Structure 1
Amino acid sequence: MAVRVVRRTTEAAAKASATRFGDALEKTLGSEGGASLLLIDLDNLMVLNQDGGRAVGDKAIDVATKVLAAAGKAEGWTFGRIGGDEFALLAPGVPLESAFLRAARLREELAAALRKAVPSRFTATATIGVANAPRDAKTAEQLMRKADLALYAAKEQGGNAVGLPPGEDMVLKSSYYSSAQLGRLRSLAERLKKKEAVLLREGLDDLLRKYERA
Protein backbone atom coordinates (compact mmCIF):
# COMPACT_ATOMS: atom_id res chain seq x y z
CA MET A 1 0.00 0.00 0.00
CA ALA A 2 1.39 3.40 -0.96
CA VAL A 3 2.43 5.67 1.89
CA ARG A 4 -0.07 8.45 2.55
CA VAL A 5 1.58 11.83 1.97
CA VAL A 6 -1.33 13.98 0.77
CA ARG A 7 -1.73 17.02 3.06
CA ARG A 8 -4.44 19.67 3.30
CA THR A 9 -5.23 20.05 -0.38
CA THR A 10 -8.04 19.20 -2.75
CA GLU A 11 -6.16 20.10 -5.92
CA ALA A 12 -6.03 17.17 -8.32
CA ALA A 13 -2.52 18.01 -9.54
CA ALA A 14 -1.17 18.19 -5.99
CA LYS A 15 -2.86 14.91 -5.08
CA ALA A 16 -1.36 13.22 -8.12
CA SER A 17 2.06 14.64 -7.27
CA ALA A 18 1.77 13.43 -3.68
CA THR A 19 0.79 9.95 -4.82
CA ARG A 20 3.75 9.73 -7.20
CA PHE A 21 6.06 10.95 -4.47
CA GLY A 22 4.72 8.38 -2.03
CA ASP A 23 5.34 5.60 -4.54
CA ALA A 24 8.90 6.85 -5.13
CA LEU A 25 9.51 7.02 -1.38
CA GLU A 26 8.43 3.43 -0.79
CA LYS A 27 10.43 2.20 -3.78
CA THR A 28 13.57 4.01 -2.62
CA LEU A 29 13.35 2.72 0.93
CA GLY A 30 12.80 -0.76 -0.43
CA SER A 31 16.29 -0.71 -1.94
CA GLU A 32 19.67 -0.54 -0.24
CA GLY A 33 21.47 2.71 0.51
CA GLY A 34 18.87 4.59 2.53
CA ALA A 35 17.67 8.12 1.83
CA SER A 36 17.11 11.52 3.37
CA LEU A 37 13.77 13.28 3.20
CA LEU A 38 13.24 17.05 3.17
CA LEU A 39 9.78 18.42 3.95
CA ILE A 40 9.35 22.08 3.02
CA ASP A 41 6.55 24.33 4.22
CA LEU A 42 5.99 27.97 3.28
CA ASP A 43 5.83 30.37 6.22
CA ASN A 44 3.12 33.03 6.51
CA LEU A 45 1.08 31.80 3.54
CA MET A 46 -2.15 32.55 5.39
CA VAL A 47 -1.05 36.16 5.88
CA LEU A 48 -0.12 36.43 2.21
CA ASN A 49 -3.56 35.17 1.17
CA GLN A 50 -5.50 37.27 3.68
CA ASP A 51 -3.64 40.58 3.40
CA GLY A 52 -2.23 40.39 -0.10
CA GLY A 53 -4.92 38.41 -1.86
CA ARG A 54 -4.97 34.88 -3.19
CA ALA A 55 -2.89 35.93 -6.20
CA VAL A 56 0.04 36.81 -3.93
CA GLY A 57 -0.17 33.47 -2.13
CA ASP A 58 -0.41 31.59 -5.41
CA LYS A 59 2.64 33.45 -6.71
CA ALA A 60 4.63 32.38 -3.66
CA ILE A 61 3.61 28.75 -4.21
CA ASP A 62 4.51 28.90 -7.90
CA VAL A 63 7.94 30.39 -7.17
CA ALA A 64 8.67 27.82 -4.46
CA THR A 65 7.62 25.03 -6.81
CA LYS A 66 10.05 26.22 -9.49
CA VAL A 67 12.96 26.63 -7.06
CA LEU A 68 12.43 23.21 -5.47
CA ALA A 69 11.83 21.40 -8.75
CA ALA A 70 15.03 22.90 -10.15
CA ALA A 71 16.97 21.89 -7.04
CA GLY A 72 15.61 18.36 -7.26
CA LYS A 73 16.58 18.09 -10.90
CA ALA A 74 20.08 19.44 -10.25
CA GLU A 75 20.68 17.02 -7.37
CA GLY A 76 19.00 14.03 -8.98
CA TRP A 77 16.39 13.97 -6.20
CA THR A 78 12.67 13.28 -6.41
CA PHE A 79 10.45 16.34 -5.97
CA GLY A 80 6.79 16.39 -5.04
CA ARG A 81 4.13 18.84 -3.95
CA ILE A 82 2.34 17.07 -1.12
CA GLY A 83 -0.05 19.78 0.03
CA GLY A 84 -1.24 23.30 -0.62
CA ASP A 85 1.99 24.88 0.60
CA GLU A 86 3.98 21.76 1.46
CA PHE A 87 6.63 20.15 -0.69
CA ALA A 88 9.06 17.27 -0.39
CA LEU A 89 12.44 16.25 -1.77
CA LEU A 90 13.70 12.68 -1.56
CA ALA A 91 17.49 12.28 -1.62
CA PRO A 92 18.50 8.63 -2.19
CA GLY A 93 21.80 7.63 -0.64
CA VAL A 94 22.38 11.05 0.94
CA PRO A 95 23.38 11.05 4.64
CA LEU A 96 21.61 13.26 7.14
CA GLU A 97 24.32 15.89 7.53
CA SER A 98 24.75 16.38 3.78
CA ALA A 99 20.98 16.69 3.39
CA PHE A 100 20.83 19.19 6.25
CA LEU A 101 23.51 21.39 4.72
CA ARG A 102 21.83 21.33 1.30
CA ALA A 103 18.53 22.16 2.99
CA ALA A 104 20.17 25.16 4.67
CA ARG A 105 21.30 26.51 1.30
CA LEU A 106 17.91 25.70 -0.20
CA ARG A 107 16.19 27.71 2.52
CA GLU A 108 18.33 30.70 1.53
CA GLU A 109 17.53 30.19 -2.16
CA LEU A 110 13.82 30.07 -1.39
CA ALA A 111 13.99 33.20 0.76
CA ALA A 112 15.76 35.11 -2.01
CA ALA A 113 13.30 33.99 -4.69
CA LEU A 114 10.25 34.67 -2.52
CA ARG A 115 11.57 38.10 -1.58
CA LYS A 116 11.51 39.04 -5.25
CA ALA A 117 8.12 37.45 -5.89
CA VAL A 118 5.92 39.08 -3.24
CA PRO A 119 5.35 42.75 -2.34
CA SER A 120 8.04 44.16 -0.05
CA ARG A 121 5.57 44.72 2.81
CA PHE A 122 5.24 40.94 3.22
CA THR A 123 7.68 38.41 4.63
CA ALA A 124 7.76 35.13 2.73
CA THR A 125 10.13 32.37 3.81
CA ALA A 126 10.20 28.59 4.14
CA THR A 127 10.90 26.07 6.88
CA ILE A 128 12.44 22.66 6.20
CA GLY A 129 12.43 19.43 8.20
CA VAL A 130 15.05 16.78 7.45
CA ALA A 131 15.14 13.11 8.45
CA ASN A 132 17.04 10.06 7.27
CA ALA A 133 16.42 6.37 6.80
CA PRO A 134 17.70 4.15 8.29
CA ARG A 135 19.11 6.61 10.85
CA ASP A 136 15.77 8.01 12.02
CA ALA A 137 13.27 5.56 10.54
CA LYS A 138 12.90 2.16 8.91
CA THR A 139 9.72 2.60 6.88
CA ALA A 140 8.32 5.25 4.58
CA GLU A 141 5.57 6.13 7.06
CA GLN A 142 8.10 6.50 9.87
CA LEU A 143 10.37 8.66 7.73
CA MET A 144 7.50 10.99 6.81
CA ARG A 145 6.56 11.27 10.48
CA LYS A 146 10.14 12.00 11.57
CA ALA A 147 10.61 14.66 8.89
CA ASP A 148 7.25 16.16 9.87
CA LEU A 149 8.37 16.33 13.51
CA ALA A 150 11.59 18.01 12.40
CA LEU A 151 9.57 20.54 10.40
CA TYR A 152 7.27 21.20 13.35
CA ALA A 153 10.24 21.68 15.70
CA ALA A 154 11.73 24.29 13.35
CA LYS A 155 8.34 26.02 13.05
CA GLU A 156 8.11 26.16 16.85
CA GLN A 157 11.40 28.08 16.88
CA GLY A 158 9.91 30.76 14.65
CA GLY A 159 10.23 29.22 11.20
CA ASN A 160 12.57 30.22 8.37
CA ALA A 161 14.88 27.47 9.59
CA VAL A 162 15.96 23.87 9.02
CA GLY A 163 15.07 21.33 11.69
CA LEU A 164 16.03 17.79 12.65
CA PRO A 165 13.87 15.18 14.40
CA PRO A 166 13.61 15.78 18.16
CA GLY A 167 16.25 13.80 20.02
CA GLU A 168 18.64 13.68 17.05
CA ASP A 169 22.10 13.65 18.64
CA MET A 170 24.10 14.41 15.50
CA VAL A 171 26.54 17.27 15.96
CA LEU A 172 26.31 19.15 12.68
CA LYS A 173 29.40 20.79 11.29
CA SER A 174 27.35 23.98 10.97
CA SER A 175 27.31 24.04 14.77
CA TYR A 176 31.05 24.42 15.14
CA TYR A 177 32.36 25.81 11.84
CA SER A 178 31.98 29.46 10.90
CA SER A 179 29.93 30.54 7.90
CA ALA A 180 33.17 31.67 6.23
CA GLN A 181 34.67 28.20 6.63
CA LEU A 182 31.52 26.56 5.28
CA GLY A 183 31.59 28.92 2.31
CA ARG A 184 35.20 28.02 1.55
CA LEU A 185 34.36 24.33 1.90
CA ARG A 186 31.46 24.68 -0.53
CA SER A 187 33.65 26.50 -3.07
CA LEU A 188 36.38 23.87 -2.78
CA ALA A 189 33.88 21.05 -3.23
CA GLU A 190 32.50 22.69 -6.37
CA ARG A 191 35.99 23.27 -7.79
CA LEU A 192 37.16 19.71 -7.11
CA LYS A 193 33.77 18.23 -8.02
CA LYS A 194 33.68 16.36 -4.72
CA LYS A 195 31.03 16.19 -2.03
CA GLU A 196 31.57 18.33 1.06
CA ALA A 197 31.27 15.27 3.29
CA VAL A 198 34.09 13.56 1.37
CA LEU A 199 36.40 16.54 1.86
CA LEU A 200 35.58 16.66 5.57
CA ARG A 201 36.41 12.97 5.93
CA GLU A 202 39.73 13.53 4.15
CA GLY A 203 40.55 16.38 6.52
CA LEU A 204 39.61 14.32 9.56
CA ASP A 205 41.74 11.40 8.38
CA ASP A 206 44.74 13.73 7.98
CA LEU A 207 44.15 15.16 11.45
CA LEU A 208 43.93 11.72 13.05
CA ARG A 209 47.07 10.50 11.28
CA LYS A 210 48.95 13.61 12.41
CA TYR A 211 48.20 13.13 16.10
CA GLU A 212 48.29 9.34 16.09
CA ARG A 213 51.93 9.55 14.96
CA ALA A 214 52.77 12.07 17.70
Structure 2
Amino acid sequence: MTKPQTSQADELTSLFNRKAFLAELSGVLSQAKLSTHEVPFSVALIDIDRFYDINERYGHAGGDKILEAFSQIVQEMAGDDALSSRYGGDEFAIIFPNTEREQAFLRLEQIRIAASQREVVTTKGEHIPGIPVSAGVASFPIDGRSENELLRKSDQALYRAKVAGRDQVRLSYEERMVPKTSHFTQTQLERLSKLSEERSVSEADLLREAMDDLLTKYGVNKIES
Protein backbone atom coordinates (compact mmCIF):
# COMPACT_ATOMS: atom_id res chain seq x y z
CA MET A 1 0.00 0.00 0.00
CA THR A 2 1.23 3.50 -0.84
CA LYS A 3 2.49 5.12 2.37
CA PRO A 4 2.41 8.84 3.19
CA GLN A 5 5.32 11.02 4.19
CA THR A 6 5.30 12.22 7.80
CA SER A 7 3.70 15.55 6.91
CA GLN A 8 0.93 13.75 5.00
CA ALA A 9 0.08 11.21 7.69
CA ASP A 10 -2.75 11.10 10.19
CA GLU A 11 -1.20 11.02 13.65
CA LEU A 12 -3.31 8.19 15.07
CA THR A 13 -3.54 5.77 12.14
CA SER A 14 -0.45 6.65 10.03
CA LEU A 15 -2.68 6.68 6.94
CA PHE A 16 -2.88 9.71 4.64
CA ASN A 17 -4.66 12.65 6.23
CA ARG A 18 -7.63 14.24 4.47
CA LYS A 19 -5.69 17.09 2.87
CA ALA A 20 -3.02 14.78 1.47
CA PHE A 21 -5.64 12.30 0.26
CA LEU A 22 -7.49 14.97 -1.71
CA ALA A 23 -4.23 16.09 -3.30
CA GLU A 24 -3.43 12.50 -4.26
CA LEU A 25 -6.93 11.99 -5.66
CA SER A 26 -6.49 15.06 -7.85
CA GLY A 27 -3.22 13.64 -9.15
CA VAL A 28 -4.66 10.20 -9.85
CA LEU A 29 -7.60 11.76 -11.68
CA SER A 30 -5.36 13.96 -13.83
CA GLN A 31 -3.19 10.98 -14.72
CA ALA A 32 -6.23 8.86 -15.62
CA LYS A 33 -7.55 11.56 -17.94
CA LEU A 34 -4.20 11.84 -19.70
CA SER A 35 -4.28 8.17 -20.64
CA THR A 36 -5.39 7.40 -24.20
CA HIS A 37 -8.17 5.10 -22.99
CA GLU A 38 -8.87 6.81 -19.63
CA VAL A 39 -7.67 4.18 -17.16
CA PRO A 40 -10.42 3.47 -14.59
CA PHE A 41 -9.93 3.80 -10.86
CA SER A 42 -12.25 3.61 -7.87
CA VAL A 43 -12.82 5.72 -4.78
CA ALA A 44 -14.36 4.29 -1.61
CA LEU A 45 -15.64 5.89 1.57
CA ILE A 46 -15.87 3.67 4.65
CA ASP A 47 -17.54 4.47 7.95
CA ILE A 48 -17.32 2.57 11.24
CA ASP A 49 -20.88 1.73 12.23
CA ARG A 50 -22.27 3.18 15.45
CA PHE A 51 -18.93 4.69 16.39
CA TYR A 52 -20.62 7.15 18.74
CA ASP A 53 -21.98 4.22 20.74
CA ILE A 54 -18.50 2.67 20.87
CA ASN A 55 -17.08 5.89 22.32
CA GLU A 56 -19.92 6.09 24.82
CA ARG A 57 -19.42 2.52 26.01
CA TYR A 58 -15.64 2.16 25.90
CA GLY A 59 -14.49 5.78 26.08
CA HIS A 60 -12.38 7.67 23.58
CA ALA A 61 -9.40 5.43 24.29
CA GLY A 62 -11.50 2.45 23.22
CA GLY A 63 -12.61 4.33 20.13
CA ASP A 64 -8.99 5.04 19.26
CA LYS A 65 -8.19 1.33 19.56
CA ILE A 66 -10.95 0.61 17.04
CA LEU A 67 -9.59 3.24 14.64
CA GLU A 68 -6.07 1.86 14.94
CA ALA A 69 -7.23 -1.73 14.43
CA PHE A 70 -9.30 -0.88 11.38
CA SER A 71 -6.47 1.14 9.83
CA GLN A 72 -4.24 -1.93 10.20
CA ILE A 73 -6.81 -4.05 8.37
CA VAL A 74 -6.95 -1.49 5.56
CA GLN A 75 -3.16 -1.45 5.29
CA GLU A 76 -3.07 -5.25 5.18
CA MET A 77 -5.88 -5.78 2.69
CA ALA A 78 -6.43 -2.73 0.48
CA GLY A 79 -3.69 -3.78 -1.93
CA ASP A 80 -0.14 -2.75 -2.71
CA ASP A 81 -1.22 0.02 -5.07
CA ALA A 82 -4.04 1.40 -2.91
CA LEU A 83 -3.91 4.79 -1.24
CA SER A 84 -5.76 4.89 2.08
CA SER A 85 -6.75 7.78 4.31
CA ARG A 86 -8.37 8.60 7.59
CA TYR A 87 -10.78 10.99 5.95
CA GLY A 88 -12.15 12.39 9.19
CA GLY A 89 -13.34 11.10 12.56
CA ASP A 90 -14.40 7.49 12.00
CA GLU A 91 -14.49 7.79 8.21
CA PHE A 92 -11.85 6.35 5.91
CA ALA A 93 -11.24 6.76 2.19
CA ILE A 94 -9.39 4.56 -0.29
CA ILE A 95 -8.25 5.09 -3.88
CA PHE A 96 -7.95 1.86 -5.86
CA PRO A 97 -5.85 2.67 -8.97
CA ASN A 98 -6.53 0.75 -12.19
CA THR A 99 -9.57 -0.81 -10.55
CA GLU A 100 -13.14 -0.89 -11.83
CA ARG A 101 -15.99 -0.74 -9.37
CA GLU A 102 -16.82 -4.46 -9.37
CA GLN A 103 -13.22 -5.26 -8.42
CA ALA A 104 -13.24 -2.53 -5.77
CA PHE A 105 -16.53 -3.87 -4.44
CA LEU A 106 -15.00 -7.32 -3.92
CA ARG A 107 -11.90 -5.92 -2.24
CA LEU A 108 -14.06 -3.82 0.09
CA GLU A 109 -16.09 -6.90 0.95
CA GLN A 110 -12.90 -8.63 2.04
CA ILE A 111 -12.02 -5.65 4.22
CA ARG A 112 -15.53 -5.55 5.68
CA ILE A 113 -15.49 -9.25 6.55
CA ALA A 114 -12.01 -9.02 8.07
CA ALA A 115 -13.09 -6.06 10.20
CA SER A 116 -16.19 -7.88 11.43
CA GLN A 117 -13.93 -10.72 12.62
CA ARG A 118 -11.26 -8.55 14.28
CA GLU A 119 -11.49 -8.60 18.06
CA VAL A 120 -10.15 -5.48 19.74
CA VAL A 121 -8.96 -5.32 23.34
CA THR A 122 -9.11 -1.91 25.00
CA THR A 123 -6.50 -0.55 27.41
CA LYS A 124 -8.87 -1.57 30.21
CA GLY A 125 -8.93 -5.16 28.99
CA GLU A 126 -12.44 -4.96 27.55
CA HIS A 127 -13.08 -7.10 24.47
CA ILE A 128 -14.85 -5.62 21.46
CA PRO A 129 -15.88 -8.61 19.30
CA GLY A 130 -15.68 -6.99 15.86
CA ILE A 131 -15.62 -3.78 13.85
CA PRO A 132 -18.76 -3.42 11.71
CA VAL A 133 -18.27 -1.01 8.81
CA SER A 134 -20.28 0.33 5.90
CA ALA A 135 -18.79 1.41 2.58
CA GLY A 136 -19.70 3.06 -0.69
CA VAL A 137 -17.67 3.04 -3.90
CA ALA A 138 -17.66 5.01 -7.15
CA SER A 139 -15.43 4.70 -10.20
CA PHE A 140 -13.90 6.93 -12.86
CA PRO A 141 -15.05 7.51 -15.54
CA ILE A 142 -18.36 5.64 -15.34
CA ASP A 143 -19.62 7.33 -12.15
CA GLY A 144 -17.91 10.70 -12.38
CA ARG A 145 -15.16 12.75 -13.97
CA SER A 146 -14.22 15.08 -11.12
CA GLU A 147 -13.01 14.67 -7.55
CA ASN A 148 -16.20 16.18 -6.16
CA GLU A 149 -18.47 13.99 -8.25
CA LEU A 150 -16.65 10.77 -7.35
CA LEU A 151 -16.65 11.63 -3.65
CA ARG A 152 -20.32 12.62 -3.80
CA LYS A 153 -21.28 9.35 -5.50
CA SER A 154 -19.24 7.35 -2.98
CA ASP A 155 -20.90 9.20 -0.13
CA GLN A 156 -24.36 8.53 -1.57
CA ALA A 157 -23.53 4.84 -1.83
CA LEU A 158 -22.26 4.86 1.76
CA TYR A 159 -25.51 6.49 2.86
CA ARG A 160 -27.51 3.73 1.15
CA ALA A 161 -25.42 1.13 2.96
CA LYS A 162 -26.30 2.79 6.27
CA VAL A 163 -30.00 3.03 5.44
CA ALA A 164 -30.08 -0.61 4.32
CA GLY A 165 -28.92 -1.78 7.74
CA ARG A 166 -25.16 -1.06 7.91
CA ASP A 167 -22.29 -3.58 7.77
CA GLN A 168 -22.31 -3.78 3.96
CA VAL A 169 -20.84 -2.34 0.76
CA ARG A 170 -22.84 -0.44 -1.84
CA LEU A 171 -22.02 0.57 -5.39
CA SER A 172 -22.54 4.15 -6.52
CA TYR A 173 -24.67 3.14 -9.44
CA GLU A 174 -27.57 1.57 -7.71
CA GLU A 175 -28.07 -1.91 -6.66
CA ARG A 176 -27.81 -3.77 -9.94
CA MET A 177 -24.22 -4.99 -9.73
CA VAL A 178 -23.38 -6.29 -13.20
CA PRO A 179 -20.12 -8.28 -13.06
CA LYS A 180 -17.77 -8.41 -16.04
CA THR A 181 -18.73 -11.13 -18.50
CA SER A 182 -15.08 -12.17 -18.53
CA HIS A 183 -15.60 -13.31 -14.93
CA PHE A 184 -19.05 -14.89 -15.35
CA THR A 185 -20.76 -16.73 -18.19
CA GLN A 186 -23.85 -15.29 -19.84
CA THR A 187 -25.88 -18.18 -18.43
CA GLN A 188 -24.73 -17.36 -14.90
CA LEU A 189 -25.65 -13.70 -15.35
CA GLU A 190 -29.11 -14.62 -16.66
CA ARG A 191 -29.69 -17.01 -13.75
CA LEU A 192 -28.54 -14.34 -11.30
CA SER A 193 -30.96 -11.83 -12.81
CA LYS A 194 -33.83 -14.33 -12.64
CA LEU A 195 -33.08 -15.19 -9.01
CA SER A 196 -32.92 -11.49 -8.15
CA GLU A 197 -36.39 -10.96 -9.61
CA GLU A 198 -37.88 -14.07 -7.99
CA ARG A 199 -36.61 -13.21 -4.51
CA SER A 200 -36.94 -9.42 -4.84
CA VAL A 201 -33.33 -9.14 -3.73
CA SER A 202 -30.70 -7.09 -5.55
CA GLU A 203 -27.98 -8.82 -7.53
CA ALA A 204 -25.40 -7.11 -5.31
CA ASP A 205 -26.97 -8.60 -2.17
CA LEU A 206 -27.06 -12.08 -3.73
CA LEU A 207 -23.41 -11.86 -4.75
CA ARG A 208 -22.51 -10.51 -1.31
CA GLU A 209 -24.21 -13.50 0.32
CA ALA A 210 -22.45 -15.92 -2.03
CA MET A 211 -19.09 -14.31 -1.38
CA ASP A 212 -19.55 -14.49 2.40
CA ASP A 213 -20.29 -18.22 2.08
CA LEU A 214 -17.28 -18.76 -0.21
CA LEU A 215 -14.83 -16.92 2.05
CA THR A 216 -16.19 -18.73 5.10
CA LYS A 217 -15.82 -22.09 3.33
CA TYR A 218 -12.12 -21.50 2.67
CA GLY A 219 -11.43 -19.76 5.98
CA VAL A 220 -10.42 -16.46 4.37
CA ASN A 221 -12.50 -14.46 6.83
CA LYS A 222 -10.75 -15.93 9.87
CA ILE A 223 -8.47 -13.07 10.82
CA GLU A 224 -6.13 -13.25 13.79
CA SER A 225 -6.98 -10.73 16.50
Provide TM-score, normalisation by structure 1.
Answer: 0.70
**Distance in 2, Cα, partners of 1:16 & 1:71:** 16
Q: SS of the residue aligned with 1:76?
A: coil
Deviation at 1:60, TM superposition (A): 0.5
Q: 5+ residue gaps in structure 1?
A: 1-11, 188-214
Q: Which residue of 1 aligns with 2:152?
A: 145
Q: Which residue of 1 aligns with 2:57?
A: 51
Deviation at 1:170, TM superposition (A): 3.4
Over residues 185-205 of structure 1, what are the superposed CA-to-partner deviations in whole Å (9 max), with x where a residue is unaligned? Answer: x99xxxxxxxxxxxxxxxxxx
**Distance in 2, Cα, partners of 1:67 & 1:167:** 27
> Equivalent residues in 2 for 1:61-80 (5 A)?
61-72=67-78, 74-80=79-85
2:143 aligned with 1:136: yes
Q: Which residue of 1 aligns with 2:36?
A: none
| AA of the residue aligned to 2:62 | V
**Distance in 2, Cα, partners of 1:180 & 1:143:** 27
Over residues 77-103 of structure 1, what are the superposed CA-to-partner deviations in whole Å (9 max), with x where a residue is unaligned? Answer: 111111011111101110110100111
Over residues 26-85 of structure 1, what are the superposed CA-to-partner deviations in whole Å (9 max), with x where a residue is unaligned? Answer: 11111231210111110111111112211111110111111112334x331111111011
**Distance in 2, Cα, partners of 1:85 & 1:181:** 28
Deviation at 1:178, TM superposition (A): 3.5
Q: 5+ residue gaps in structure 2?
A: 1-9, 33-38, 180-202, 220-225
**Distance in 2, Cα, partners of 1:165 & 1:29:** 18
Q: Which residue of 1 aligns with 2:166?
A: 159
Q: SS of the residue aligned with 1:160?
A: coil
2:95 aligned with 1:90: yes
**Distance in 2, Cα, partners of 1:71 & 1:89:** 11
Q: Which residue of 2 aligns with 1:109?
A: 114
Deviation at 1:169, TM superposition (A): 4.1
| AA of the residue aligned to 2:138 | A
Count of residues in Structure 1 that have an aligned counterpart in Structure 2: 174
Deviation at 1:158, TM superposition (A): 1.3
Give the number of the structure whose residues are more often helix, by fraction: 1
The 3 A distance-change label for structure 1 pair 123 and 47 is farther
**Distance in 2, Cα, partners of 1:181 & 1:163:** 18
Q: Which residue of 1 aligns with 2:132?
A: 125
Percent identity of paired positions between Structure 1 and Structure 2: 28
**Distance in 2, Cα, partners of 1:21 & 1:179:** 30
